[in-house]
């Protein structure tokens, strides 16, 4: 009974946090860590999540409160010119044969026409180079988006697996403290999942180009558990993969590192906890 | 507000798919003022607002399939995409990190299923916003039109983070309750 009450209280507290952040989340005003927290809690608190739709509708409506302003007259012409140029340049991309200009013998042309032809050929060459470069950029962007989607998908899978495993009720907690004994963060894990949750309550805010890095420590050898950030109040959550049950490690540590993380801790630990 | 009577947006988009430039021109004549108005409100700069407006209509021209009629009205789609594009541009110009807002696809899924607001609805919402305490309105405007997060608003107004969070939350909750009440869908 006590355990059930305690779990219920914990769920209520989490859902209250979600309820407090939901209005700001609906208009994009949550900080990055808060956005991640809201997104991780939406599935946990369906009765709160349902309120999001009304906030989203409100957000959509607020956009209409801006006064209608007639754009400068020239903008219409500029837009239509850009559209016309797109239609003209499009065939260049799919032209199956080389442009005949390049095959023409220059010495049979009048000097003016020859100069024009050379200029046109050069221009076409430049346009083609620009278009090919743009195609490569688009391809890069698409690849980056696919990578991002895969990362998010993996993250979501990890979250779902972790919360499902947590529901078995066999979770353990590791407190991470500063060198003066101040509680800064906790890690919740369960042997039933290969993911764990780090909740930061009080880690110091970082410079914009820095991140925290989590370390699994065994025999004085740190192995990275990933990088994460916290908001200005030191709050944040981070779901990470665990290579082995955490009780097999001597300790967990957190250090202040560059945004991309480090091979090994480059600063003294901000927080440590015995696993 | 544009007159939406006798306006077949699906037909217009189908004409754009057939590369009919006059269809895009028609779309621009109908909604260009709203798109430009919103871009101006966010960016406060005519040059940037013009660029964003042109980008939005070129996006429709290049990718007419990006609007899905089953997910709501075309203007709702245009307004959402305009706000996101303008805020992205604003953050770039101000060298702020990229926006960690709700994914635009989620916004489009949740906010666009409803019809357009008419002039009366818009006036109503403006009136309701005026009924909020000025400090709550200020927080909402900085967040909604300035694309600012809690901590950015706190820094801008030199206020404690908790104060900003409270103002924004109370303002939006109150506005939602008043709005739903006014349109006949009170909070449960």
Nearest beta carbon to residue B111 from set A57, A69, A233:
A57
Tokens at residue A150, please? 């895969």
**Shortest Cα–Cα distance, A226 to chain B (Å):** 20
More confident residue, B112 or A63: A63
Task: Provide ipTM, 2 decimals.
Answer: 0.87
DSSP code of A177? E
Task: Give the pLDDT of residue B165.
Answer: 96
**Least confident stretch, A9-23, A87-101, B39-53:** A87-101
Does residue A28 belong to the interface with chain B, where contact is any CB pair within 8 Å?
yes
Fold of B1-114: Rna Polymerase Sigma Factor; Chain: A (1.10.1740)
Task: Give the pLDDT of residue A101.
Answer: 32
Distance CA B40, CA A67 (A): 10
Query: A90-101: string of b/e by CB count within 10 Å (b at 16+)?
Result: eeeeeeeeeeee
Distance from CA of residue A25 to its chain's centroid? 15
Distance CA B68, CA A95 (A): 31
**Shortest Cα–Cα distance, A258 to chain B (Å):** 16
Task: Give the pLDDT of residue A108.
Answer: 34
Mean pLDDT of B48-74: 90
Q: Are residues A176 and A153 in the same domain?
A: no
| Strand duo A183-189 + A172-177: pairing | antiparallel
In-domain check, residue A84: no
Domain finish residue from A109, A142, A167: A167
Best mutation target, A69, A134, A151, A231, to test chain B (most B CBs within 10 A): A69
Q: Are residues A185 and A252 in the same domain?
A: yes
Are A75 and B32 an interchain contact pair (Cβ–Cβ within 8 Å)?
yes
Which residues form the domain of A133?
A: 89-167
Q: Structurally, what CATH architecture does the domain formed by B117-188 represent?
A: Orthogonal Bundle (1.10)
Nearest beta carbon to residue B28 from set A35, A56, A79:
A79
Task: Give the pLDDT of residue A133.
Answer: 59
pLDDT value at A48 more than 60? yes
Handedness of CA A151, A155, A157, A158 (dihedral sign): positive
In-domain check, residue A217: yes
Q: Which residue of B has its CA nearest to A61?
A: B117
pLDDT tens, A164-216? 666 555 678 888 999 888 889 888 888 877 778 888 878 988 887 888 999 99
**Shortest Cα–Cα distance, A234 to chain B (Å):** 12
The secondary structure element, H or E, covering residue A35 is: helix A32-41
Task: Give the pLDDT of residue A115.
Answer: 46
Q: Hey, how many other C-beta atoms are within 10 angstroms of the C-beta on B150? A: 25
Every domain of chain B and the residues it spans: 1-114, 117-188
In-domain check, residue A79: no
pLDDT value at B185 more than 80? no
Does residue A52 belong to the interface with chain B, where contact is any CB pair within 8 Å?
yes
Best mutation target, A61, A93, A141, to test chain B (most B CBs within 10 A): A61
Q: With contacts defined as CB-CB under 8 Å, which chain A residues touch B144? A: 27-29, 59, 62-63
Residue A251 DSSP SS3 = strand
pLDDT value at B44 more than 80? yes
Mean pLDDT of B168-186: 90
pLDDT value at A148 more than 50? yes
Q: Which residue of A has its CA nearest to B122?
A: A65
CATH number at residue A230: 2.60.40.200
Task: Give the pLDDT of residue A130.
Answer: 55
**Shortest Cα–Cα distance, B69 to chain A (Å):** 17
Are B102 and A86 an interchain contact pair (Cβ–Cβ within 8 Å)?
no
Q: With contacts defined as CB-CB under 8 Å, which chain A residues touch B80? A: 60, 63
Is residue A226 within 8 Å of residue A236, measured between CB atoms? no
Task: Give the pLDDT of residue A102.
Answer: 32
More confident residue, B120 or A177: A177
Mean pLDDT of B113-136: 79
């Amino acid at each position: 009974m006590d355990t059930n009450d305690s779990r219920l209280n914990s769920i209520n507290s989490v859902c209250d946090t979600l309820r407090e952040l939901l209005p700001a989340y609906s208009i994009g005003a949550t900080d990055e860590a808060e956005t991640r927290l809201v997104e991780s809690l939406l599935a946990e608190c369906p009765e709160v999540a349902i309120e999001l739709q009304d906030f989203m509708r409100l957000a959509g409506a607020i956009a209409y409160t801006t006064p209608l302003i007639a754009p400068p007259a020239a903008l219409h012409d500029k837009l239509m010119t850009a559209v016309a140029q797109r239609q003209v340049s499009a065939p260049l991309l799919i032209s199956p044969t080389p442009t005949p200009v390049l095959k023409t013998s220059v010495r049979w042309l009048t000097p003016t026409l020859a100069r024009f032809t050379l200029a046109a050929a050069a221009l076409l060459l430049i346009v083609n180079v620009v278009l090919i470069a743009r195609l490569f950029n688009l391809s890069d962007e698409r690849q980056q988006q696919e990578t991002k989607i895969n990362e998010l998908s993996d993250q979501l899978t990890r979250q779902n697996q972790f919360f499902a495993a947590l529901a078995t009720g066999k979770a353990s907690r590791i407190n991470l403290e500063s060198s003066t004994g101040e509680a800064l963060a906790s890690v919740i894990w369960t042997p039933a999942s290969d993911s764990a949750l780090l909740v930061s309550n009080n880690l110091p805010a970082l410079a914009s180009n820095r991140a925290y890095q989590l370390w699994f420590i065994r025999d004085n050898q740190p192995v990275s558990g990933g990088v994460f950030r916290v908001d200005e109040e030191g709050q944040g959550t981070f779901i990470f993969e665990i290579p082995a049950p955490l009780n097999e490690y001597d300790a967990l540590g957190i250090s202040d590192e560059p945004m991309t993380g480090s091979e090994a801790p480059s600063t003294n630990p901000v927080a440590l906890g015995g696993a | 507000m544009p007159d939406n009577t006798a306006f077949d947006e699906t037909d217009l988009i189908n004409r754009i798919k057939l590369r009919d430039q006059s269809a895009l021109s028609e779309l621009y004549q109908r909604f260009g003022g709203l798109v430009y108005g919103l871009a101006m409100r966010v960016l406060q700069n005519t040059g940037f607002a013009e660029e964003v407006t042109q980008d939005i209509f070129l996006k429709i021209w290049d990718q007419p399939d990006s609007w899905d009629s089953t997910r709501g009205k075309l203007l709702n789609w245009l307004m959402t995409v305009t706000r996101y594009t303008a805020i992205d541009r604003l953050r770039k110009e101000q060298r702020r990190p990229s926006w960690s807002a709700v994914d635009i696809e989620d916004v489009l899924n949740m906010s666009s299923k409803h019809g357009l607001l008419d002039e009366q609805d818009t006036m109503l919402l403006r009136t309701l916003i005026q009924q909020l305490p000025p400090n709550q309105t200020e927080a909402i405007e900085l967040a909604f039109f300035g694309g600012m997060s809690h901590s950015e608003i706190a820094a801008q107004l030199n206020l404690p983070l908790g104060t900003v969070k409270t103002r924004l939350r109370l303002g939006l909750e109150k506005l939602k309750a008043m709005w739903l009440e006014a349109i006949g869908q009170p909070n449960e």
